[in-house]
Structure 1
Amino acid sequence: MEPKNLHLKTFALALFVVFTFSCTRPTGKIYPGEHWLRYESPEEAGWSSELLAEAKVYSDSLEVASIMIVYDGAVVDAWGDIERRFMCHSVRKSFISGLIGIHIGTGEIKMEETLEDLKIDDKDSLTFEEKQATVADLLKARSGVYHSAAYETQSMKARRPERGSHLHGTYYYYNNWDFNVLAKIFEIKTGIDVLTAFQKEIAEPLKMNDFRIEDTYFHLEPEHSIYPAYPFRMSTRDAARFGLLYLRDGNWKNNQIISGEWVKNSRHPWSTNVRKGRGYGYLWWIAEDPEMKEYGMYTAAGVGGQYISVFPKADVVIVQRVNTYLGDGVGYDQTTRLYKMILDAKIHRPKRDPVLVRFEEKDRQEFTFSMQEKNIEILQGSYILDEEEYSVLVNDQGDLLFKTPEGQKFFMLPVSDNEFLLEDVELKLFASYEPEGEVDHLRTEMRDTCFIFLPK
């Protein structure tokens, strides 16, 4: 007969497996660790699978690349490529709001400091009146400084008021100059740039799965301003972590990363009805239309339909991503209709002990082909397309990077010596070589259009 304690050990091991891989709700608030948890079925959390399926059908009729729905810290549903890094566009502004909030909390940055105090000027000198704008004014897009700026759209340029037409603090204008200068103020006061700070102070504590410093860059347009923009690429599942941080009032597993007071002030509409049923907080958009206001919705928003939307009254975060690499776009009205369908799928209270399982996320495709060093050297250099300059570079780890005229860098993942996948954009790039071995041209195709890059 086997010893009794052996049976006990076997029983204990079985219990460990059961609770690890098909666990009931953990004690306290739910947060993702290395991986997200999801409800075994939406019904465990009081949601309707049937109604969520209807929302997905509508989502599929739009140019939506991915959706992720988080309720009470766990995934209710998700579809599309949630691991792929898409352009964030103006979502970046809500990221920097969080960073500034951290350093307002430490006392390094002060809301009442003026541009004059901070010795901020620009290509076309600021007036005395413009220099009286405060950090708080910039966070509210109310600086009254209407200097040209990097990364402006044509519509922003068309709406920009005349210099000197409004005093600081008195008028809302969605102003890239304000947003870009905030990054410089952050660097002046903390001694660290916003991209590095985001990685250290937000991405790492939240254990983002896909974020890399290489997915950010500074975009300078010296003909317009001395202050660069700071674009990001980010995956849907990482963006959902940022949304959950705000849903939890800046707290992450009992670590108060951003103060709850800052989160509260960020979602306050300091300017009301500024765009299609929305107000503006500290670099966050605040819902004012009745259907979304009912849930207390506030959103980090970027062009094309990039949204991290937080619904405090429903304990929900919804992330929507759109493939703007290909020029896709989803309108705000379409998004709010989709949101309403998703939120209407919450039809019951959650079960008392909802079953949670590990959310199965796809691993990124591995590329094991090893290029010869001489072929890597041959590819390096500048290439011209439509009079704009692109580059093939090599980083310190020996990886090939494809750099756009705007400054974005995409990893060139080798399939062979003459075929590559541009990571995240997910376009194939082919290299054609001359008989002597030099590059003749690079070629890619996007929606049936062929693009040829010629060596400079």
Structure 2
Amino acid sequence: MKKQVLYFAVVIGMLSGCTVTSVDKPENNKSVVTVQGYAKGETPEKPPNYWPTMEWKTSLPEQQGMNSKKLADLFEKLDEINSPLDGLIIIRNGYIVAEKYGYGYGPERSHEINSVTKSFMSAVTGVAINEGYIKSIDDPIFDYFPDRKAENMDDHKKNLTVKDFLTMNSGLDWGELDKDRKHQFWSDFESTDDTVQFVLNKPTDPNLIGKFDYNTGLPHILSAIVQQTTGKKTADYAKEKIFDKIGITTAYWPEVQGVNQGGYRMEMTPRDMARFGYLYMNNGKWDGQQVVPEDWVKTSMSELIQTGMTGGEHYGYYFWLTTTKDGYKEISAMGDRGQYIVMVPELNLLVVQTSKAYLTDINIFEEYIYPAAESTEPIPVDAESNTRLSENKKK
């Protein structure tokens, strides 16, 4: 692998206007490194709360109780192993404390977020239900397609509900994660001339009834339902009801056969991904306005069904849930090849990652990021580690 060219932006660089300088201490005439005027061992003030609707603000890690040495160690390790990460943002208490990009990406360049799209589809579905376009999560799916005749209909399939589709509990024979079938499956799915009908035609697999089975077709059906009931493209409805209200401006939501792809292929910048995560960290409320219903957000991030998958043992409404080794509840929107919005409410910590491949050499969350969250209050500044972070951005 070629040595990656990294653009690295951290709070002590150009993004926040912070400076790292050396000054002389009068008592011994020795040079002392300072960061934003704070020397080693000094405790900074905590910045005030704000909403990142227009732009994200940055902060010294220590101002948010984060250990800058652990963050500097992490970013240097990522350089050392030539990691495939395209973007990484670490946010605490609503402030960016560190940000890193690679392979030509930066804060203004969008990235395909793959199945993170599903979590956005969950939010849009919740808003559509709240506004009465979709009557209930208990509505049978096929009630919304009276003009379509689906193949392989049986009693189980006929009674599938919106909730069954939200929790990946449809019992339909899909095969997306079956290593022996997945290549043919994707070929068939992406070459069909009617993706909605393709999903609706799938037969019941008796062995899957009552079990979690990952299925990208299910949120695509919900996108079709949102479009039919609201009279608007899902992307337009999402823009009006969610994106415009929280400052997401870079979302590109592709469509196929006239329907926005509910399960994958959305694109946006990592900072806009972070806005969505921050919305959910605040129970769907943004700057005093309830954008996504609070009950919907809490239910979406609840343990509704077991998945049998390590690192995401439970599933809500298109969100994965697990418990960290230190006992924190971790809630994630996940996409193929390492696209993540990771929320740890107990730490008020939000991490966004974009990548061209899964990072397998280290666990950046458990080994570096979570341990860096040492306190809920500001901690003494480590000027040398902040200097390392500042210098890393030049690599």
TM-score, normalised via structure 2 length: 0.71
State the aligned residue count. 313
What is the letter of the counterpart of residue 277 of structure 1? G
What is the letter of the counterpart of residue 95 of structure 2? A
What is the letter of the counterpart of residue 83 of structure 1? E
Q: Write the distance in 1 (CA, Å) between the matches of 2:334 and 2:290.
A: 24
1:223-302 pair list within 5 angstroms: 231-278=265-312, 279-288=314-323, 290-291=324-325, 294-302=327-335
**1:119 to 2:119 alignment:** no
Q: Write the distance in 2 (CA, Å) between the matches of 1:133 and 1:88.
A: 28
Residues 229/50 of structure 1: CA separation in 2 closer, same or farther (3 Å cut): closer
Q: Write the distance in 1 (CA, Å) between the matches of 2:242 and 2:333.
A: 16
**1:219 to 2:256 alignment:** yes
| Paired position in structure 1 for 2:75 | 56
TM-score, normalised via structure 1 length: 0.62
| Paired position in structure 2 for 1:184 | 224
| Paired position in structure 2 for 1:319 | 352
Alignment check: 8 A CA contact 1:67 1:82 kept = no
Residues 176/207 of structure 1: CA separation in 2 closer, same or farther (3 Å cut): same
Q: 2:52 aligns with which of 32, 38, 44?
A: 32
Larger deviation, residues 178-187 vs 310-319? 178-187
Alignment check: 8 A CA contact 1:274 1:280 kept = no
Larger deviation, residues 61-70 vs 264-273? 264-273
Pick the structure with more strand per residue: 1
**1:45 to 2:64 alignment:** yes
Secondary structure in 2 matching 1:37: coil
What is the letter of the counterpart of residue 38 of structure 1? T
Query: Post-superposition shift, 1:97?
Result: 0.4
Residues 54/164 of structure 1: CA separation in 2 closer, same or farther (3 Å cut): same
Alignment check: 8 A CA contact 1:140 1:282 kept = yes
- More contact order relative to length (CA 8 Å, sep ≥ 6): 2
1:319-398 pair list within 5 angstroms: 319-322=352-355, 328-331=356-359, 336-351=363-378
Larger radius of gyration, structure 1 or 2?
Answer: 1
Query: Post-superposition shift, 1:187?
Result: 1.6
What is the letter of the counterpart of residue 108 of structure 2? E
Alignment check: 8 A CA contact 1:251 1:257 kept = yes
Secondary structure in 2 matching 1:38: coil
Query: Post-superposition shift, 1:220?
Result: 5.0
Query: Post-superposition shift, 1:128?
Result: 4.2
What is the letter of the counterpart of residue 200 of structure 1? E
Alignment check: 8 A CA contact 1:124 1:147 kept = no
Q: Write the distance in 2 (CA, Å) between the matches of 1:194 and 1:238.
A: 18
**1:204 to 2:244 alignment:** yes
Secondary structure in 2 matching 1:264: helix
> Structure 2: which 5+ residue stretches go unaligned?
1-35, 38-43, 186-201, 382-395
| Paired position in structure 1 for 2:387 | none
| Paired position in structure 2 for 1:417 | none
Q: Which deviations, in whole Å up to 9, do the C-alpha atoms of 1:254-301 show, x marking residues without a partner?
A: 11111221111111122224212312110111114x427x22111111
Aligned sequence identity (%): 24
> Structure 1: which 5+ residue stretches go unaligned?
1-20, 323-327, 355-456
